[in-house]
Structure 1
Amino acid sequence: MTTLYDVRPAAVIGGPDEVLADDQVTAFVHEALAGAGLDGRSVCVIVPDATRSCPLPLLMRAVHGALTGRVSRLTTLIALGTHAAMTPAEIETHLGGDYPGMEVLNHEWSDPATFVHLGTIGADRVGEISNGLLHEEVAVRLNRAVVEHDVALVVGPVFPHEVVGFSGGNKYFFPGVAGQEVIDLSHWLGALITSSDIIGTRGITPVRALIDAAAELIPAEKLALSVVAQSGTSALHAVAFGDTRTSWEAAAAVSAETHVRYLDKPVQRVVSVMPPKYQDIWTAAKGFYKLEPVVADGGEVILYAPHVTHIAAMHPEIEQIGYHCRDYFLAQWDRFKSVHWGVLAHSTHLRGAGTYSEAEGEKCRVQVTLVTSIPEHIVRGADLGYLDLATFDLKSYESDPDTFVVPNAGETLYRLADH
């Protein structure tokens, strides 16, 4: 029998040292949703795309089984943010099959008709949330599928995250199925704080506070099945059910113990071996974000991703501006302020900590080098280091005492033990 216990007041099964059986997960989902007051109501299920480890077929079978015949309408919306749309074949694999009576939608973020305007967060409120880093109003637009259902049910994993601290919860709305305005503002706020300072931060970070403020404008009831995945596998450590705040808080507490590793001293070089779920540098950059904190000054992060052929097919601007530290953009703001701030943020997140002045130029703390199938001139044109895939010998790095090789990189955060 599934045991439930309350965590302010989320119901939770599992924990940092547990691996749940499929039948435990299914029973928990059925029991949780049975008591959620969903009968006769319309439900929009918001799920991640394939760039996150999560046994989504298991969860979707449980959710579909628990809600079919009880709710008036059931829709699943894939939270792409600004990632590429999934094909029908990819969606079927991702969700684990077809589900009778359930409509499945990609978040069509490039189509203005996708969105409903929910309201505006004023400049003074943004200034308060951001601790004075930003002071401007932001329009809040959201995928109309969420607004046109009675209940929005988030189903997805929680990991340390470079923009918000820990992913999950209301982040599935913003930026998951949001308009560009909140995406740009929230990501640039994270960039101003810097990835290395915010990643893996527990509690309500300024970016999380901005996302939560936007989520308050959603008319639908907001619930979440927040899961903590065993990274790189289809297993789960824990599942939490509640509203999108309490469920996320419970899962983030478990993620902080399962997805953070500590090293005793800095390493000179990291090789992040990127799994195929990261299909471009826009997503594979997580292999840098999660390792930057343990790299010594003047060190290097090598992203080893032979399958990657593009920097960012959905965001070609990044090849034009290149990768630079935060101060590079701030010192030349008039030149760059018209570029989507989400693109600028991604640039700073991958380039990491650094300084810039007109007299001395840009000095970044860590070198970033790609070993991919992207042509050399494109890599170097984006201000990144290049190593030839054809001659790269991973085994030699694995035997090098100055190199830390990380398989399946991108989800586990590495930190120094004394920080």
Structure 2
Amino acid sequence: MIDIPYSTKTLKINIEDKNLKGILVSKAEDYKVNGSQEHIVNRALDNCIGSKSLEELVKDKNNMVIITSDHTRPVPSSITMPILLNRIRKINPNIDITILIATGFHRPTNREEMINKFGKNIVEKEKIINHISTDESSLVNVGVLPSGGQLLLNKLAVETELLIAEGFIEPHFFAGFSGGRKSILPGIASANTIMANHCSEFINNEYARTGVIDNNPIHKDMLYAAEKAKLAFILNVVIDADKNIINAFAGDSKLAHEAGCKFLMKLSSVKKIDADIVVSSNGGYPLDQNIYQAVKGMTAAEATCRKGGVIIMIAACNDGHGGESFYHTIVNSKGPKELLERILKVPRNKTIPDQWEIQILARILSNYTVIMVTDMCDANMIKDMHMEHAYNFEDALKRAYDIKGKDAEVVVIPNGVAVVVRND
């Protein structure tokens, strides 16, 4: 039996030995650590990379903004945020602190989700604000991205005396890795800025792939945005399969992030195994709440599946499709290939909402059959989006064998967002 994260539980799947060619798992899944999660975070904050300590930075400030991730990211803020707040107020008890939720292009995080993320005490006592990327009154223009797009960012972050961010680092399907500079772009950027950065040309770039930041044009824009925003300090963590902290990196937004990416790359790299059928997931809650996010786990399967193969994607998608533009653009298209061809012709300054996710899903659907496994989502919605649906894994595997044959080779990626599939 193989355990696959699904929503807040685990599915146990079985594949016969004659078909199972390999299981691709990040070494972060069972990485052993010494000390508590709090100890790991405090150790990082005591050993900053490339910057002054947090305490030195806050010492003479009247106000500051702490950027944090939204409800779609498993950042353990119930651990990290209290540590940050305690350290800050120990040195500067009167400082005015605003916690800014980096929603990017997502919907606002609601109160229940905030409590789940931070804990009730912080939600009731702290000033927490959602970034709204379409609210022009809350944005300010701070320059022009290397890609040519206007860089509009949240005023609160730009105008504060000190800007820091917390987050986590995981492989990212077109930015290389999450964390660091992503707190700014897309985190607190305008919708138009995000769309310029996520243009079809960049998404199609060979370097805009999982685990790649060198020569990645999307990463280059993000670094520029972090510099212009004067992001002074980050605390980024790396987590295991149980969402527990296994390492932390604090300090300069570029250097600390690079150190975290280097650490994670050693753990998350797995060697490609060619297969006819690849089973993947989005690592369970909170990343498997919708189809939009589930595309990430599909890209791991895409990297090791033979063209014309079958990708079985196990994701709850209990929150539906995850984006109106994402859903309707796909549903109203003639098919994935036609849609992909059309998107690739869209200029940088004409990017539409969710185009990047549409583009990547269309790329995958043009080359593979995708079977979504969920009993928490509307089956017709999935079918309308040019995918197949199964209520359970057994039915999905049977359908995959019908397509590729009973002797088809199968690879399983229990957590598709946790691995970097290498060709070498």
- How much does 1:30 deviate? 5.5
Q: Which one of the candidate residues 273, 288, 294 is aligned to 2:281? A: 273
What's the secondary structure of 1:404's corresponding residue? strand
Residues 9-408 of structure 1 aligned to structure 2 (within 5 Å): 18=33, 20-28=35-43, 31=46, 33-41=53-61, 42-69=63-90, 70=92, 72-99=95-122, 102-121=126-145, 125-126=146-147, 137-188=148-199, 189-193=201-205, 198-203=209-214, 205-218=216-229, 220-230=230-240, 232-263=241-272, 265-274=273-282, 275-277=284-286, 278-308=288-318, 310-315=320-325, 316-322=327-333, 324=336, 327-330=340-343, 333=346, 338=350, 340=352, 342-352=353-363, 364-372=366-374, 373-382=376-385, 384-389=386-391, 393=395, 402-407=409-414
C-alpha contact (below 8 Å) 1:194/1:353 kept by paired residues: no
C-alpha contact (below 8 Å) 1:114/1:143 kept by paired residues: yes
Moved more, 393-402 or 64-73: 393-402
- How much does 1:152 deviate? 1.4
| Alpha-carbon spacing, 1:145–1:376, altered in 2? closer, same or farther (3 Å) | same
Task: Find the aligned partners of 2:285 and 2:151 in 1 and give their Cα distance.
Answer: 33
Q: Residue by residue, what CA displacement relative to the aligned partner does 1:105-154 show, whole Å, maximum 9, x if unpaired? A: 11122322221121223xxx43xxxxxxxxxx311111112113111111
Aligned residue type for 1:94? K
Tell me which residue corresponds to 1:411.
417
- How much does 1:104 deviate? 0.9
| Alpha-carbon spacing, 1:146–1:392, altered in 2? closer, same or farther (3 Å) | same
Aligned residue type for 2:277? R
TM-score scaled by structure 1?
A: 0.79
C-alpha contact (below 8 Å) 2:233/2:252 kept by paired residues: yes
Task: Find the aligned partners of 2:324 and 2:99 in 1 and give their Cα distance.
Answer: 23
| Alpha-carbon spacing, 1:374–1:233, altered in 2? closer, same or farther (3 Å) | closer
- How much does 1:164 deviate? 1.2
Identity %: 19
What's the secondary structure of 2:417's corresponding residue? coil
Task: Find the aligned partners of 2:248 and 2:410 in 1 and give their Cα distance.
Answer: 35
What's the secondary structure of 1:237's corresponding residue? strand
- How much does 1:391 deviate? 8.6
- How much does 1:376 deviate? 4.4
C-alpha contact (below 8 Å) 1:19/1:236 kept by paired residues: no
Unaligned runs of 5+ in 1: 1-15, 127-136, 355-363
Structure whose residues are more often helix by fraction: 2
| Alpha-carbon spacing, 1:204–1:105, altered in 2? closer, same or farther (3 Å) | farther
Task: Find the aligned partners of 2:356 and 2:317 in 1 and give their Cα distance.
Answer: 24
Unaligned runs of 5+ in 2: 1-30
C-alpha contact (below 8 Å) 2:275/2:410 kept by paired residues: yes
Task: Find the aligned partners of 1:378 and 1:23 in 2 and give their Cα distance.
Answer: 42
Q: Residue by residue, what CA displacement relative to the aligned partner does 1:352-403 show, whole Å, maximum 9, x if unpaired? A: 368xxxxxxxxx2222222345444433332x22123269547878999733
C-alpha contact (below 8 Å) 1:194/1:349 kept by paired residues: no
Q: Provide the aligned length of Structure 1 versus Structure 2.
A: 373
Moved more, 32-41 or 282-291: 32-41
Q: Residue by residue, what CA displacement relative to the aligned partner does 1:231-271 show, whole Å, maximum 9, x if unpaired? A: x32322221111111111010001111223224x2121122
C-alpha contact (below 8 Å) 2:276/2:408 kept by paired residues: no
What's the secondary structure of 1:163's corresponding residue? coil
Task: Find the aligned partners of 1:22 and 1:332 in 2 and give their Cα distance.
Answer: 47
Task: Find the aligned partners of 2:54 and 2:152 in 1 and give their Cα distance.
Answer: 31
Q: Residue by residue, what CA displacement relative to the aligned partner does 1:179-227 show, whole Å, maximum 9, x if unpaired? A: 12221122124312158x6211144522111112223322x45211121
Q: Residue by residue, what CA displacement relative to the aligned partner does 1:5-29 show, whole Å, maximum 9, x if unpaired? A: xxxxxxxxxxx76465234235326
C-alpha contact (below 8 Å) 1:163/1:191 kept by paired residues: yes
Aligned residue type for 1:378? M
Task: Find the aligned partners of 1:28 and 1:66 in 2 and give their Cα distance.
Answer: 13
| Alpha-carbon spacing, 1:414–1:252, altered in 2? closer, same or farther (3 Å) | closer
Task: Find the aligned partners of 1:63 and 1:306 in 2 and give their Cα distance.
Answer: 33
- How much does 1:92 deviate? 1.4
| Alpha-carbon spacing, 1:200–1:87, altered in 2? closer, same or farther (3 Å) | same
- How much does 1:72 deviate? 1.6
Greater RCO, 1 or 2 (C-alpha within 8 Å, sep 6+): 2
Moved more, 109-118 or 373-382: 373-382
C-alpha contact (below 8 Å) 1:270/1:300 kept by paired residues: yes
Alpha carbon RMSD of aligned pairs, Å? 3.1
